[in-house]
Amino acid sequence: MQYVFEYAVVPMGEVAEICAGRDYRHLENGNYPVYGSGGIMTYVNNYIYDKPTVLLPRKGSISNVFYVDKPFWNVDTVYYTKIDNTIVITKFLYYFVVNEHIEKYNTSNAARPALTRDVLNKITITIPTLAEQERIVAILDKFDALVNDISIGLPAEIEARRKQYEYYRNKLLTFKSKTA
């Protein structure tokens, strides 16, 4: 990979193989989540893929991109990705695709939005070095936890408000004496 200015710009298809999902109805109930473009639909006793991946919607809720790092099954309304981790960190690709707002690549003229594998393969990805990707992912993971994990975000917000309260309390209750 040729890095110019410490990053490379490549089509997604060069760093991730986009794979179709399959029907799950022949499987028994189990512990593996079944993903559709709307999210988890049910749980089954087998998985289609067991490595960290980015799930890309194919039909329906095409703005729903998922990062999955445990074994799962997916139906045909969502693609899973086999990612070349020597080039791109899976979580970095996830954050990049979410930021890309892939719904703008809608290929359907009908009421039900759609994305094709061909269109997804051509989306250009800006890829910095692996070290820089790790740094970016660490920062975004912290923000994600603050925003989405109530056990982390709520205490942090309470602490921030407590400091703000103390600051304003001290400012409002500190009077300068008037000297004549």
Same domain, 85 and 152: no
Look at residue 2 and tell me if it is in a domain.
Answer: no
Same domain, 112 and 135: no
Q: Under a CB-based contact definition with an 8 Å cutoff, are residues 58 and 37 in contact? A: yes
How many helices (H) and strands (E) are present in the chain, helices listed first? 4, 9
Which of 113-117, 118-122, 130-134, 144-148 shows the lowest per-residue confidence on average (mean pLDDT)? 144-148
Q: How confident is the model at residue 4 (pLDDT cuts 50, 70, 90)?
A: low
Same domain, 30 and 54: yes
What is the span of the domain harbouring residue 17? 7-128
CB atoms < 10 A from the CB of 133, how many?
21
Q: How confident is the model at residue 113 (pLDDT cuts 50, 70, 90)?
A: confident
Query: Which residues make beta-bridge pairs with 32?
Result: 44
Percentage above 70 pLDDT, the chain = 93
Structure confidence by residue, pLDDT tens digits, 80-104: 999 999 999 999 999 999 998 898 8
104 to 37, 75, 91, 174: CA distances (angstroms): 16, 22, 21, 54
pTM of the predicted model, to two decimals? 0.80
Q: Under a CB-based contact definition with an 8 Å cutoff, are residues 16 and 94 in contact? A: no
> Using CA atoms, how far apart are residues 81 and 90, in angstroms rounded to an integer?
9
Q: In the chain, how long is the greatest CA-to-CA distance?
A: 90
Report the domain count for the chain: 2
Same domain, 86 and 136: no
Mean pLDDT in residue range 130-149: 88
Structure confidence by residue, pLDDT tens digits, 60-74: 888 899 999 999 999
